[in-house]
Amino acid sequence: MTRTPFGERLRAAMDAHGPFCPGIDPHAALLDAWGLPDSVDGLERFALTCVEAFGGTVACVKPQSAFFERFGSRGVAVLERTLEGLREAGTLSLLDAKRGDIGTTMAGYAQAYLSDDSPVRADAVTVSPYLGYESLRPALDLAAATGRGVFVLTLTSNPEGASVQHAVRDDATVAASIVDGAGADNAAARARGALGSVGLVVGATVGSAVADLGLDLAGSAAPILAPGLGAQGGTPDGLRRTFGDAMPQVLGNSSRAVLGAGPGVAALRAEARRAADDLANAASRR
C-alpha cells in the first residue's frame, strides 16, 4: 500500500483544522489538578480523555513519551492505546520521544516508532541530531518508506541549547546544518510545491534567533513544530515575528495552557479550537 507522504497529510490536516498541535503531557501536577491519582489508572483516564477531546478536531496531537514511560510497561501499554485511539479518530499523532543514536540502535528506534507493525507506531516522531544529522538516516529512510515523518530538534528555547545549536563549524551554525539537511531530504516535496516530511523543532520563544542565525526555514519546505505557546510565553503574533515567510509551515504546540482546561472533554476541546483559530488567524495576516 502506498501511503500519502506525512507532510502532505499534515498540510491537509492543518488546512482543515488549523495549525495547532495540543500535547498530552500527563505529569504528576496535571494529574493532581484533574483530581486523578498519580498512577497507571490516572494516566489512562487522563490520556484517553485527551484522545476523546482532541480526536477529529485538531491537526495533530503530541503525546510526550516520558510521562508514559515513567510507569514502566503498564504506562507504555497506555501509550499504545493512546496512539491507537488517535488512529481510530483519524487524527495525526506526533510522538515526542527525542530519540537519537547511531547504526543499529538508531534503526531499532526507527522500527519502534515508524514501522507499520509496531504497537507504538506514530505518524511522526521527534528525534535528536546531536550525533550528526546523518546519524538519523535509519529513521529518515524508514519514515519516507512508510509515509511517516520525523521532526528534528533544531533551535530550542532552553538557555543551554544555544551553546550547541548556535555553535559554528565550517562557517555554518549547527542549527543551519540541520535546516540544510532537512531541506535536502525535502527537495522532492519542495519541487512539487508540497510540505516535506522531515520537520524541524524550533521553539516558539526563540525570538530573533532564526533571523540572527540566517536560517532559511521557508526554503527547507519543512513543517515546523513550535512548542512553547501559552504557559511558556509564546504567542501567535510572536510566531509571526519569529518565523516570517515560513509561518505557513508552522505547527504551534501547547500542552499546559490547553490541558489546564480539563478534565472536562468539552472544555478541553473548546480550548484547543480557540488556540487553533488564533494560530490560523495569525498565519493568515501579512
Alpha-helix runs per DSSP H in the chain: 6-17, 28-33, 40-54, 65-69, 73-89, 103-114, 137-146, 162-165, 174-185, 187-191, 209-212, 236-243, 256-259, 265-284
The whole domain housing 21 covers 6-281
Number of structural domains, the chain?
1
**Does residue 128 sit in helix, strand or coil?**
coil
In a domain, 286, yes or no: no
In a domain, 269, yes or no: yes
In a domain, 245, yes or no: yes
Catalytic site positions? 98
In a domain, 112, yes or no: yes
CATH number, domain of 150, equals: 3.20.20.70
In a domain, 188, yes or no: yes
What is the per-residue pLDDT for 167? 95
What is the per-residue pLDDT for 286? 57
In a domain, 137, yes or no: yes
What is the per-residue pLDDT for 6? 98
What is the per-residue pLDDT for 65? 98
pLDDT tens, residue by residue, 184-206: 999 999 999 999 999 999 999 99
What is the per-residue pLDDT for 3? 83
In a domain, 187, yes or no: yes
In a domain, 1, yes or no: no
What is the C-alpha separation between 231 and 117, in angstroms, rounded? 36
Where the chain has pLDDT below 50, the residues are none
What amino acid is encoded at 206 in this protein? Answer: V
* CA atoms lying within 13 Å on the CB side of residue 196: 30
What is the per-residue pLDDT for 2? 67
pLDDT tens, residue by residue, 23-64: 999 999 999 999 999 999 999 999 999 999 999 999 999 999
